[in-house]
Structure 1
Amino acid sequence: MAQANAQNVTDNNEIFLVDGSGYIFRAYYALPQNLTNPHGVPVGAVLGFVNMMTKLLADMHAPFIAVIFDAARQNFRYDIYPEYKANRDETPEDLKPQFGLIREATKAFGIPALEMEGFEADDLIATYTRMAREQGKTVTIVSSDKDLMQLLTDGVRIFDPMKAKFMGPEDAFEKFGVTPDKVVDVQSLAGDPSDNVPGVPGIGIKTAAQLINEYGSLDELLARAGDIKQPKRREALIENAEKARISRRLVQLDDHAPVPVAFEDMRARDLHSPTLVAFLAEQGFKSVISRLGLKHDAPSSPDSIPAKAGIQTGPSMDSRLRGNATKGDTPISENVYTLINDIKTLQDWADQARAAGMVAVDTETTNLTPAMADLVGISMAITPGQAAYIPVGHKGQVDLLGGGDTTIPQLPLKDVIAVLKPLLEDESVLKIGHNIKYDLQMFAGIGINVTPVDDTMLLSYVLDGTEHGHGMDELSTLMLGHETIKYNDVAGTGKNQVTFDRVDIAKALDYAAEDADVTLRLHRILKPRLAQEKMVSVYEDIERAIVPVIAEMERTGIKVDTTVLKQMSHEFGMKLATLESAIHKLAGHEFNVASPKQLGVVLFDEMGLQGGSKTKTGDWSTAADVLEDLAAQGIEIVEKVLEWRQLAKLKSTYTDALQNDINPKTGRVHTSFSLAGTNTGRLSSSDPNLQNIPIRTDEGRRIREAFIAEDGHVLLSVDYSQVELRLAAALADVKALKQAFIDKVDIHALTASQVFGVPLDQVTPELRRAAKAVNFGIIYGISGWGLAKQLGCEPGEANEFIRKYLTRFREIQDYMEAKKDEARKNGFIKTVYGRKCVINNINAKNGAWRAFAERQAINAPLQGTAADIMKLAMARMPHALKQAGLSARMLLQVHDELVFEVPEAEIEQTAALVKHVMESVAHIDVPLSAEAGWGKNWATAH
């Protein structure tokens, strides 16, 4: 980026032509697609467009500028080739109403929004480029579209906003292997799948460039195609000559299209115009007004809010887009990034960080799993725009910075550690990262215990919940108006992608340093909001406190016995074969049990089973709910198919896959816990997912036998008992239920007694089971139909159970209605600890959406509070164990359960301590209860 900006020189005659259509789709996919303005119209793409235009205008100081749009999909190219762009997806429905608003936004900037019926935007750009050159003007085309490279020549350059890079004729040669005047010929041969331009089959860009350079032009090549020695190539060119000529007419830009305005009408205007302010205010873009230093004296209107299906449901979007904290910062486009490969410079940076009291840090590695990764480099930023990259593990480097042949020196890792360890372990210096638990593990691997830390991902998560994603790229676009360099830009894509240690240091410098720079800028925006929005406690006591705990859990991993897994895989395979044979026998012939289409034919066409329904494709649905209804009727083949499916999933997902997930370095499985992935604050697990191992079936429980303790140790499992039911009793202030928990009464038997009007000692197992289903169903907002499915009764009977329950426990009904009202009013509910859980579509007109949102509103405060309690317990656990002189290691968190690896001699003391921490961490009206068990494997411990 720094290199690109060095070329940012404009003259007073320069014409800037912006590819508006390209901007629209970049904006649409860059920002959340659920933002609406105060009138309920989607505006995610509009906001992205506004952000990109403000950045462009600030960076380029263009004297003349216009934004060019496609008038419509149909143009003269469809007359030439009706299949032109036939493979393009339909325009997303929520984007269509934004086209007009984006044109309005362009005009509000004082910039012409140009289009011409029957022509593409690229044709207008080509025409204006020709006219400008004829008048002696220079041209900058702002686009990422490779088709415009045919226009590159002296006095014409392209600025690619995706890469923040200016391009000239040499870039066309790098892309197409030919000079710009021959780009069309190469494209004519190679075709373009994205636009359905046919080209010549079997000829790609590289071969096309070779042929055009050899024969001089497309016409000459086609005329002499018979002379080509390679038979396949010769035949392809002869047989597809007309396709090549048609392709040329499709890719050749028409530079004599009618033009809507003259250059004088493109003269840039002052941004501080009432028209622009009015437009931004109308869309609810108050943060943009603030960032541009504009004044808006009109009465304030509601902010844009996140929604699903155009339904307004949430709080102010402006809270996510405040730029005031970065006012006066160096624009990110004017960054200065430093490559550190000498010890004095590194020490200078460390000294500056210590003096500043904070530093943003990031690591570059070879793998997304820390336990499998090697450290490649470290980046750091101290002030916005000033960032550095320290390469330590790049391989096969040449001096791309200086253009020579010598290897770029890298500091020995031991020297880097010697300088950075005192800084990163200094309690007086705050270390800021984005998803910093990853970096904590990488630093721990080289002997550095980083503390204290802040995490911009978690700051965003705490402040905005699930209103938008929390990845650094998305936050950069959303809050800084800056498109970051993407990993694929530096490491390549597909089979050509390399690990980061093979990335050129010159490319790695901007990519890695930008990460630290952006992280620091995001911190300056997000951190002040904690106090402003009263979210300090959620962040400090829960989310920030748990980062080092989770990092250590992931780094530790859990031991898995491959012998057990292999044995189970073999047994499951044998059982699957037996089930498959039985299914074939019942069907009367063999078929692929795994094929939904073939299964549907067998069940509904051949066997004539009733209750089936067809999908949009016309095939029979064999979804789980369809098969479960049939199995409930006692249809044997369906029962066996469901059993086969469950077993096949266990085998493929766990007993087979887990063998490949074992880290050869450690002999353990290292799952990754997502800290910012759920609406309620619950942790989720991936790579592999260890939270979804079934426990209700014998086979599912058996998989836990493969998770074992090291020699001399046991696994300890401590599980909260009925935590959400206890919270429901406490938060709804249900006195009868609260007292039952205090007295340690069987809560399901009590409910059965209260609801069905029988003495407690006469509650039958059937009544208790029904009461249990109601107890748990109520806190999930269950319907009569859903409860009926669980109990195997009629919906009317299930509805009567629910009615009796809510009549007896009126406080629960009042609580449910209060939570729904809270969600309708705010667009979110809060947990006991203040976490915001976003509730989309709570005011939707669609009944199904609204009902689902209402169930969320009921359950989210319970599940969210339970998640907060679990995190509080986890955060306190390491200190409690250390204080007691115990050496247990926490390995897993699965829903309401914690799993530890404990020396056998310490198990009873550790179990008692863990139970005490978990039961005493929260102060609510109902006692929490945790149950402990232990054994050599997870199955026996649970």
Structure 2
Amino acid sequence: MSGTFGKGHHLHLIDGSAFIFRAYHALPPLTRKSDGLPIGAVAGFCNMLHRYVEGNTGPDAPTHAAVIFDKGSHTFRNEMYDLYKANREAMPEDLRPQIPLTRTATEAFNIACKEKEGYEADDIIATLAVQARAAGGRCTIISSDKDLMQLVGDGVEMLDAMKNRTIDREGVFEKFGVYPERVVDVQALAGDSVDNVPGAPGIGIKTAALLINEYGDLDALLKRAEEIKQPKRRQTLIDHADQIRLSRKLVLLDENTPLDFTLDDLEVREPDADKLLGFLADMEFRTLSKRVAEVLGKEAPVIEEPKVVENGGEVAEIPFDQAGYEQISDAKTLQAWIDRIYEFGYVAVDTETTGLDEMVADLVGISLCVEPGKACYIPLLHKSHSADDLFGSDDLAEGQIQTEEALRMLTPMLTDPSIIKIGQNMKYDSKIFAQVGIAVAPIDDTMLMSYAMHAGLHGHGMDTLSERYLGHTPIPIKPLLGSGKSAITFDKVPLADAVPYAAEDADITLRLWQLFKPQLHRVQVTKVYETLERPLVPVLAAMERSGIKVDRDTLSRMSNAFAQKMAGLEDEIYEMVGRKFNVGSPAQVGEVLFEDMGLEGGKKGANGKYSTGATILEDLATEHDFPKRILDWRQLSKLKSTYTDALQEHINKDTGRVHTSYSIAGASTGRLASTDPNLQNIPIRSEEGRRIREAFVAEEDKVLVALDYSQIELRILAHIANIPALKQAFKDGLDIHAMTASEMFDVPLDEMTPDVRRQAKAINFGVIYGISGFGLARNLRIPRAEAQGFIDRYFERFPGIRTYMDDTKAFAKEHGYVQTLFGRKINTPEIAAKGPRAGFAQRAAINAPIQGTAADVIRRAMIRMPDAIKDIPATMLLQVHDELLFEVEKGAEDDLIKAARDVMENAADPVVKLDVKLTVDAGIGSNWAEAH
């Protein structure tokens, strides 16, 4: 059927971006053999287009079709609201060169390919859908994007191609609680964190739908906001009306996008066989070329076979099927599984527990997997479910082996040195097993393999890795456990649901291991994984299980003292202003600063409130006393809520100690992160912050010993950037900050003032972190021009630093990563970004080899420490950046200091021979503050 588009015609509009990102995440990273060009997303995209073309035949086939793309990231919406989509993650580096190829692919399939500068693909889709509807034809939008749901109805429908599900008016109502004509109103209220559409704070989709259904539409709701009974909701709508109206403009699709083509130009055309097969051959897509050639009745092009199988893609090809998952309910079946594990020599292991805190969680079940697609779950503590049990039961469900018997059978295998136990975040599982007396070893960890290869590119959680490298979305936990007050623990999950969920985790872990293990060598990070990542797991697990004693009474007294001090500050603040207000409310602080007091520099955000972040207050504090008081109050408030109050909740009732959890793969540079509670962020610059460490105490007859690297990052900088003056100063044991001040300001060392030294110290550390003139001015509370002058003079005196910075940025731009001295790769995907992100990415790239090398050094020290102190009555408790904290029996302090200092000062050997010797300061005390 041809002629002018109208009745009887059927238009298909494909959301190109959705196809691309789905394709990118569905396949392991793939490169073209001949030149290494990334082509994984293009391969997936072409497969999807081929399936689309082959699957759309018959009476309902499209007569017209187009793939619609986004032309660029800047559109008319950015003119309306400069923060629109500002928090979107940057496009992955390996996807960027593939985007133009997806356009070429679309043209090769002879499908219309359309985009428009300044408009989003959604606007073009909206315009074409409305035109098709007006002409009396039908339109199917192939996408699951919620933003397009406002178009559904009167001959326009959506098709979620991944789920093969049509979304009509009822489908939209199911998603939004309103029909398509009111979707924009709901989105304007709920906002969108992905696109950074502000909406109304605190109002989600459900509440928005309730309000719109009650009041009819957004304008009526805003007009009658005063009538709303809930005070918080009422005030939100009144205060944020302008922001809500702006949000409506941002989410409303432009149905009048100016197009330089018509619907008739989108008529379906047969592909040009030579052009399509030529493109597929250029891409080196062997399988797809054969498939397409067969359909077109042509000879498949000859493409030279590669010498190496790429990236273990076959692992991703085996389908995930719950039929391959088994529940183990008796000893005989378990023994058969153990026998199979011994045949293979490895097993993926995962534990299910009653919570995330390994110190108190109970082991509920264990999953095992030795072959992709075949896994089992051994339930141990699941509770029974009966129709009579309204409140659940404490009786165990049938079909479970006794815990003691299962663990007795599994322990020899879990501790056997000839069997590799593979986990995803194995530290967690090893601590769970340790709670029941099993020391699991040896181990492999897929999370740490990903971290060694992909640090800086994406997260390393199992869901992320599964979706990205296996093209599979794992069964979600939330529907099983619920949320909020009605949430249950895993032992209450029925076995029919628990088995596929738990077994799948082991299956995914095994597949990731089979995919990642050979890649470590190809990416040249085997040494990093084997020497810095994997051996750290048992060391950290032991530290976390040891914990540190915290004195509740000391914390309680501090909390009270902080509360009194805050009250005193509030009185001073009220006196300055002449009235009372909520000091803890940034909005009210903004009003006082910029309206009552009339200070300059006030800027309102999208919510119509003045911004009063720390940097703004610090700038004002250089000239005014009031913002200083607010900063002091905020610091005390944070210390009280985050530490002196919250730490009391973290004291384990059985051990009387606080057990933090370290994340090995948290920071891309190799630095450890600490959570629940975070003990690495306790401020030590203020006297109050330092005092919090007084609550961390040694047990009776023991003391705490702190060993701290002295200026390790400056020493590494002197080595990496090859700065003779700095190297010599460290060699001579000079005060490095005084030496820098002397070099920069031509002040003899014996005439050095504390103030000049303080400035030099700020510059020393600032330069490592790529500080700007603005940043240094704020730190030193001096004019920006003066601060910039200091930085310029610093580079004149130490030209090696500028050379190092320029070389590092150039290396990052060329290779997409930087490296530590020990070979750790830190990916820098944002290095080619434009605007403010570029500056941040460049500073991060400059700092990463320095901070990362320091992190590697302390990791090496920690890994060697257990052996070095095994004959000393001492335990390593904490790592805080450059410091290690030990608890040691009185009388053994000197032995511990000697052994630990020796390990720490020589940790780089023999891999890296530093030009500057590392030195370690030691301190002893009954509490952490004394020892530091």
Q: TM-score range by the shorter chain?
A: 0.7 to 0.9
1:144-183 mapped onto 2 (5 Å cutoff): none
Over 3 Å counting, the alpha-carbon distance change for 1:109 and 1:425 in structure 2 is: farther
Structure 1 equivalent of residue 478 of structure 2: 488
Structure 1 equivalent of residue 741 of structure 2: 752
Structure 1 equivalent of residue 675 of structure 2: 686
Residues 1:816 and 2:805 aligned together: yes
1:874-885 mapped onto 2 (5 Å cutoff): 874-882=862-870, 885=871
- Letter matched to residue 452 of structure 1: P
Question: Which of the residues 877, 884, 900 maps onto 1:891?
Answer: 877
Structure 2 equivalent of residue 665 of structure 1: 654
Contact 1:340 1:390 in 2 (8 A): yes
Contact 1:71 1:120 in 2 (8 A): no
Structure 1 equivalent of residue 514 of structure 2: 524
- Letter matched to residue 379 of structure 2: P
How big is the shift at 1:789?
3.1
Contact 1:558 1:891 in 2 (8 A): yes
Over 3 Å counting, the alpha-carbon distance change for 1:377 and 1:293 in structure 2 is: farther
Percent identity of equivalent pairs = 44
Q: Deviations over 1:882-926 (max 9, x none)?
A: 2xx123222211111111222223222112211111001113111
Structure 2 equivalent of residue 776 of structure 1: 765
Question: Which of the residues 570, 584, 587 maps onto 1:594?
Answer: 584
- Letter matched to residue 849 of structure 1: R
Aligned partners of 1:533, 1:687: CA distance in 2, in Å?
34
Structure 1 equivalent of residue 816 of structure 2: 827
Residues 1:642 and 2:636 aligned together: no
Structure 1 equivalent of residue 279 of structure 2: 278
Over 3 Å counting, the alpha-carbon distance change for 1:513 and 1:665 in structure 2 is: same
Over 3 Å counting, the alpha-carbon distance change for 1:853 and 1:127 in structure 2 is: closer
Residues 1:727 and 2:716 aligned together: yes
Over 3 Å counting, the alpha-carbon distance change for 1:278 and 1:49 in structure 2 is: closer
Residues 1:341 and 2:348 aligned together: no
Aligned partners of 1:577, 1:751: CA distance in 2, in Å?
42
- Letter matched to residue 919 of structure 1: E
Aligned partners of 1:350, 1:504: CA distance in 2, in Å?
25
Structure 1 equivalent of residue 18 of structure 2: 24
Aligned partners of 2:922, 2:325: CA distance in 1, in Å?
53
How big is the shift at 1:328?
9.3
Structure 2 equivalent of residue 907 of structure 1: 893
Match of 1:898, SS? strand
Contact 2:382 2:397 in 1 (8 A): no
Aligned partners of 1:298, 1:468: CA distance in 2, in Å?
33
TM-score when normalising by structure 2: 0.73
Aligned partners of 1:818, 1:622: CA distance in 2, in Å?
38
Question: Which of the residues 605, 608, 619 maps onto 1:618?
Answer: 608
Aligned partners of 2:16, 2:479: CA distance in 1, in Å?
18
Aligned partners of 2:133, 2:442: CA distance in 1, in Å?
52
Over 3 Å counting, the alpha-carbon distance change for 1:562 and 1:57 in structure 2 is: farther
Structure 1 equivalent of residue 731 of structure 2: 742
Question: Which of the residues 572, 575, 578 maps onto 1:582?
Answer: 572
Contact 2:347 2:370 in 1 (8 A): yes
Structure 1 equivalent of residue 367 of structure 2: 379
How big is the shift at 1:409?
1.3
Contact 2:353 2:491 in 1 (8 A): yes
How big is the shift at 1:110?
9.7
Match of 1:361, SS? strand
How big is the shift at 1:70?
11
Match of 2:685, SS? coil
Question: Which of the residues 466, 489, 501 maps onto 1:499?
Answer: 489
Contact 1:357 1:429 in 2 (8 A): yes
Aligned partners of 1:398, 1:49: CA distance in 2, in Å?
51
Which ranges in structure 2 are unaligned for 5 or more consecutive residues?
A: 1-10, 70-83, 115-124, 150-158, 187-204, 207-262, 294-299, 388-394
Structure 2 equivalent of residue 537 of structure 1: 527
Match of 1:905, SS? coil
Over 3 Å counting, the alpha-carbon distance change for 1:530 and 1:118 in structure 2 is: closer
Match of 2:581, SS? coil
Structure 2 equivalent of residue 237 of structure 1: none
Residues 1:853 and 2:854 aligned together: no
Contact 1:19 1:121 in 2 (8 A): no
Match of 2:534, SS? helix
- Letter matched to residue 420 of structure 1: L
Match of 2:325, SS? strand
Aligned partners of 2:499, 2:368: CA distance in 1, in Å?
11
Over 3 Å counting, the alpha-carbon distance change for 1:781 and 1:576 in structure 2 is: same
- Letter matched to residue 700 of structure 2: D
Question: Which of the residues 796, 799, 818 maps onto 2:788?
Answer: 799
Q: Deviations over 1:534-567 (max 9, x none)?
A: 2111110101110111122222222211111111
Over 3 Å counting, the alpha-carbon distance change for 1:889 and 1:51 in structure 2 is: farther
Q: CA RMSD in A?
A: 5.0
How big is the shift at 1:72?
10
1:241-260 mapped onto 2 (5 Å cutoff): none
Match of 1:662, SS? coil
Structure 1 equivalent of residue 450 of structure 2: 460
- Letter matched to residue 928 of structure 1: L
How big is the shift at 1:800?
3.5
Over 3 Å counting, the alpha-carbon distance change for 1:733 and 1:330 in structure 2 is: same
Aligned partners of 2:552, 2:730: CA distance in 1, in Å?
42
Question: Which of the residues 448, 458, 465 maps onto 1:475?
Answer: 465
Aligned partners of 2:839, 2:383: CA distance in 1, in Å?
56
How big is the shift at 1:483?
1.5
- Letter matched to residue 834 of structure 1: G
Which ranges in structure 1 are unaligned for 5 or more consecutive residues?
A: 1-16, 74-88, 130-140, 149-157, 173-179, 199-203, 206-259, 301-318, 400-404
Over 3 Å counting, the alpha-carbon distance change for 1:934 and 1:739 in structure 2 is: same
Contact 1:557 1:671 in 2 (8 A): yes
Contact 1:367 1:373 in 2 (8 A): yes
- Letter matched to residue 716 of structure 1: V
Match of 1:666, SS? coil
More displaced 10-residue stretch of structure 1: 366-375 or 790-799: 790-799
How big is the shift at 1:867?
0.5
Over 3 Å counting, the alpha-carbon distance change for 1:638 and 1:297 in structure 2 is: farther
Aligned residues: 775
How big is the shift at 1:188?
13
How big is the shift at 1:770?
2.5
Q: Deviations over 1:661-701 (max 9, x none)?
A: 22223322222211112121111111221111111111111
Q: Deviations over 1:208-236 (max 9, x none)?
A: xxxxxxxxxxxxxxxxxxxxxxxxxxxxx
Match of 1:711, SS? coil
- Letter matched to residue 567 of structure 1: R
Over 3 Å counting, the alpha-carbon distance change for 1:188 and 1:572 in structure 2 is: closer
How big is the shift at 1:112?
11
Structure 2 equivalent of residue 214 of structure 1: none
- Letter matched to residue 929 of structure 1: T
How big is the shift at 1:408?
3.1
Question: Which of the residues 900, 917, 923 maps onto 2:903?
Answer: 917
Structure 1 equivalent of residue 704 of structure 2: 715
Contact 2:366 2:378 in 1 (8 A): yes
Contact 1:549 1:878 in 2 (8 A): yes
Match of 1:807, SS? helix
Aligned partners of 1:463, 1:903: CA distance in 2, in Å?
41
How big is the shift at 1:521?
0.8
More displaced 10-residue stretch of structure 1: 411-420 or 187-196: 187-196
Contact 1:397 1:408 in 2 (8 A): no
Over 3 Å counting, the alpha-carbon distance change for 1:469 and 1:443 in structure 2 is: same
Contact 1:71 1:118 in 2 (8 A): no
Residues 1:433 and 2:423 aligned together: yes
Aligned partners of 2:320, 2:538: CA distance in 1, in Å?
30
Match of 2:359, SS? helix
How big is the shift at 1:467?
1.1
Aligned partners of 2:640, 2:677: CA distance in 1, in Å?
14
Question: Which of the residues 434, 439, 455 maps onto 1:449?
Answer: 439
Q: Deviations over 1:348-374 (max 9, x none)?
A: 111111221111111111111211211
How big is the shift at 1:406?
11
Contact 2:548 2:657 in 1 (8 A): yes
Aligned partners of 1:386, 1:379: CA distance in 2, in Å?
11
- Letter matched to residue 868 of structure 1: D
Aligned partners of 2:861, 2:486: CA distance in 1, in Å?
46
